[in-house]
Amino acid sequence: MDDISRARDALNHLDAACDRETWVRAGMSARSAGLEFVDFNNWSASAGNYAGENECRTVWKSFDDAGGVTPATLYGMAFSQGWQDTSKSRTKASRPMLPPAKPKQTAPASVKQAANSNAADVWARCITATDAEPYIFRKQGTPDGLRVYPASAPPLVIRGQNVAGCLVVPCWDGDKLQTLQFIPPDKGDKLNLTGASFGDGSFVVGEITDWVYICEGIGQAWAVNKATGAAAVVCFGAGRMATVAKVLRDKYPAASLVIVPDKGKEEQACKTAADVAGQWVAMPSDKPANYDCNDLMQEAGESALLALLERSQAPAMRYKLLTDDELAAFPPLQWRIKGVLPAHGLAAWFGASGSGKSFLVLDALQSLGDGKEWFGRKVKQCPVTYIALEGEAGLAGRVNAYRIRHGTTSSNIRYMVQPFSLLEHGDIHELAQAIQAAGTGGLVVLDTLNRAAPGADENDSKSMGLIIAAAKQLQSLIGGLVLLVHHTGKDTTKGLRGHSSLHAALDCAVEVRRDGDRREWLIAKSKDGEDGNAHPFKLEVVEIGTDEDGEPVTSCTIKPLDANDASSKKKPTLSGNQKIARDVLGKPLKESTHFGMEGAPASRPCINYDEAVALVAERMPTDAKHRKSRAQTAIAALVDKCVMGMKGEWLWDN
């Protein structure tokens, strides 16, 4: 026997149901002897007061500093409880000189421990059990699959007790015998074979079909099988219920598993049931600790136990499937600006440089801070944080211009002009803390996204994924809406600059467009709002003071325009190629059978972008090599000038 096997044998000989101080000391000495956590946990699980694997692991980790405890302590404790060291290398002189503790129960001095304690060998010495066995009679059980260790067999001593006459319960893992449990004929403690592990084993009472009950001990399993007729599996202790349940779930994926704990183990049973998608039952609430289903059967009968088992309860599921009525009971979507910005989530406000998007954002924030209508839409007041990472030098001027034009500004807005990065974990948490301390977590604006993610490649899917995850983390910390101010790419018809995953991740997107002095905003994406309607506005110049040379300093404010005002619908000037493109696409659009594609107005006929490019290219007055690119440029200009609308791969007439 090697040193590890010898130490394991000594540990398994000890009574795990000892007081906590002794249990801890045994564990410390076992670790110093080179044993692993699994050895300590398996030994601990053999006790009726086993508190679970998590408790064992926590205590085991605390053994890093053994405090002077050595392997000699383990062997001394084992010798004091009658352990027989079968190691050939052991000599009498090597036995640690420790004062023996008084054993709980000792075997007669004349009884010599059997040398071979292999589970299969011990099982072979046993004789078939009968109904007359005291434990079977007391628990109203059956002898099926059980044996008795006879007095005529070589003596076997466990924890100082000779197991002659004990009922023997085997622990099987398939066809492999893992270990044995010995139940004394009197009311003594159950004993587990030393030097053997339960592993993934169990003992089954009945035949496994569609329902399987998982119990701590064989007495409980007998009662459950008697009341239900279904299989009841013996775990050999509450600490092994989770292990056995997982094995059963893997082996019988369609079976209904029900955990049947003793009184006081309900929380553990509920967790185990959740882990294996099973159910669990609780003993009556007025019963004492460790009261079990066999006690209930003997007190109230099989029918009372059956009624309790039929009231098994499923743990709360992570995923809940809703009916129509449950879905209808959900509160409606909450808006900050009705139909434009939701109260929670991730949104973007984007446009080309010079389109006026930052002026428009600031105008919207002032309305949000005071709860005033914005472009005729209802606004729900909320605190606002504006992170100005681009154009911060002109921010004071914009706010001042708004104050001059409207007479006041909202006191419900806070501004930040310090550097900030979404890609720095510490920045996100510190910003969230500052926002929460100021009470401005309703809406947070990052202007612009590019400056909020310095060094990131917006076109790279992995980089954009990190940006999106960071923005969502900020949103979860503040609990409101995070609004990203962003740019369009070189081709303004393709919307947001960068990887398409950003558009997919948004709850809302507002696009700002410019054609000369004409500007407008429209909802480019809304999960529950109306997409596509354009809202014209213009920038009005406001003189906000004079510079050091006495010359006027100006900024701008937003002035909404009436959508029916002819001045807001000034017919755009088209180039020759643009006129050709518009004329070419007129007939195909009229004959199109596709309506309302990708957010176009429901009654508006649409044409696929690639098909449109092919049709227009045929009419471009240039050589064949450049026709396609000229067609794409002409169509992009029609979209940019709002002659046509486009989203995704579809075009329509505005």
Q: How far is CA 185 from CA 66, 132, 134, 181, 205, in A?
A: 40, 11, 5, 13, 20
Reported as type and span, the H/E element at residue 577 is helix 576-591
Tokens encoding 332: 């409606």
Q: Measure the CA–CA gap between 537 and 374, rounded to whole angstroms.
A: 12
Tokens encoding 462: 């992995």
pLDDT band at 104 (very low <50, low <70, confident <90, very high): very low
| Among the ranges given (57-71, 263-277, 491-505, 541-555), the one the predictor scored with the smallest mean pLDDT | 57-71
Q: pLDDT value at position 68?
A: 67
Q: pLDDT value at position 310?
A: 93
Q: pLDDT value at position 534?
A: 83
Q: pLDDT value at position 643?
A: 87
Planar angle of CA 550, 555, 561, nearest 5 degrees: 140
pLDDT tens for 482-506 read 999 999 877 776 778 889 899 889 9
Q: pLDDT value at position 481?
A: 94
**Mean per-residue pLDDT for 553-578?**
76
| pLDDT higher than 90, residue 381 | yes
Q: Is 337 within 8 Å of 364 (Cβ atoms)?
A: yes
pLDDT tens for 284-325 read 999 999 999 999 999 999 999 999 999 999 887 777 888 898
Q: Is 475 within 8 Å of 348 (Cβ atoms)?
A: no
Q: pLDDT value at position 87?
A: 64
Q: How far apart are the first and last CA of the chain?
A: 89
Q: pLDDT value at position 115?
A: 33
CA 453 to chain centre: 26
- Fold held by 576-653: Arc Repressor Mutant, subunit A (1.10.10)
pLDDT band at 189 (very low <50, low <70, confident <90, very high): confident
| Among the ranges given (48-62, 566-580, 613-627, 629-643), the one the predictor scored with the smallest mean pLDDT | 566-580
Amino acid letter at 257? L
Q: Is 217 within 8 Å of 244 (Cβ atoms)?
A: no
**Mean per-residue pLDDT for 441-454?**
91
| pLDDT higher than 70, residue 565 | no
Q: Measure the CA–CA gap between 620 and 628, rounded to whole angstroms.
A: 8
Q: pLDDT value at position 72?
A: 85
Tokens encoding 560: 């909404």
Amino acid letter at 268? Q
Strands 176-183 and 191-192: antiparallel
| pLDDT higher than 90, residue 113 | no
Q: How far is CA 440 from CA 217, 399, 428, 476, 565, in A?
A: 58, 18, 15, 14, 38
DSSP string, 488-556: B-SSGGG-BSS-THHHHH-SEEEEEEEETTEEEEEEEEESSS----EEEEEEEEEEEEE-TTS-EEEEE
CATH superfamily for 335-569 is: P-loop containing nucleotide triphosphate hydrolases (3.40.50.300)
Residue 481 has a CB neighbour count (10 Å cut-off) of 24
Query: Left (φ > 0), alpha (ψ -120 to 50) or beta: where does 132 sit?
Result: alpha
| pLDDT higher than 80, residue 392 | no
Mean pLDDT computed over every residue of the chain: 86
Q: What are the φ and ψ backbone dihedral angles of 15, each rounded to 5 degrees?
A: -80, 110
Q: Measure the CA–CA gap between 135 and 166, rounded to whole angstroms.
A: 9
Token pair 């598993």: residue:
257
Q: What are the φ and ψ backbone dihedral angles of 390, each rounded to 5 degrees?
A: -140, 135
Q: Measure the CA–CA gap between 278 and 128, rounded to whole angstroms.
A: 35
pLDDT band at 249 (very low <50, low <70, confident <90, very high): very high
| pLDDT higher than 60, residue 254 | yes
- Burial readout 583-614 (b: 16 or more C-beta within 10 A, e: otherwise): ebbeeebeebeeeebbbbbeebbbbbbeebbe
Q: Measure the CA–CA gap between 73 and 365, rounded to whole angstroms.
A: 72
| pLDDT higher than 50, residue 98 | no
- In the 8-state DSSP scheme, what is residue 236? S
| Among the ranges given (72-81, 157-166, 395-404), the one the predictor scored with the smallest mean pLDDT | 72-81
**Mean per-residue pLDDT for 561-569?**
58
Domain spans, the chain: 3-104, 134-309, 335-569, 576-653
Q: pLDDT value at position 65?
A: 58
Asked whether the bond before 448 is cis by omega within 30 degrees of 0, the reply is yes
**Mean per-residue pLDDT for 353-369?**
92
Q: Measure the CA–CA gap between 82 and 77, rounded to whole angstroms.
A: 9
| pLDDT higher than 90, residue 141 | yes
Collapsing DSSP states into helix, strand and coil, what is residue 42? helix
For residues 66, 68, 72, 77, the Cα torsion angle rounded to the nearest 10 degrees is: -70
| Among the ranges given (24-33, 114-123, 393-402, 545-554), the one the predictor scored with the smallest mean pLDDT | 114-123
Q: pLDDT value at position 48?
A: 65
Q: pLDDT value at position 83?
A: 76
Q: What are the φ and ψ backbone dihedral angles of 288, each rounded to 5 degrees?
A: -75, 170
**Percent of the chain whose pLDDT exceeds 90:** 51
Please check whether the two domains, 134-309 and 335-569, share a CATH topology: no
Q: How far is CA 350 from CA 473, 488, 615, 634, in A?
A: 21, 6, 31, 23
Burial class (CB in 10 A: 0-12, 13-18, 19+), 562: exposed
Q: Report pTM.
A: 0.48
- Fold held by 134-309: Dna Topoisomerase Vi A Subunit; Chain: A, domain 2 (3.40.1360)
pLDDT tens for 201-213 read 999 999 999 999 9
Amino acid letter at 125? R
Token pair 């006191």: residue:
411
pLDDT band at 571 (very low <50, low <70, confident <90, very high): low
Strand partners, 519: 514, 537
Q: pLDDT value at position 568?
A: 46
Q: Measure the CA–CA gap between 616 and 633, rounded to whole angstroms.
A: 11
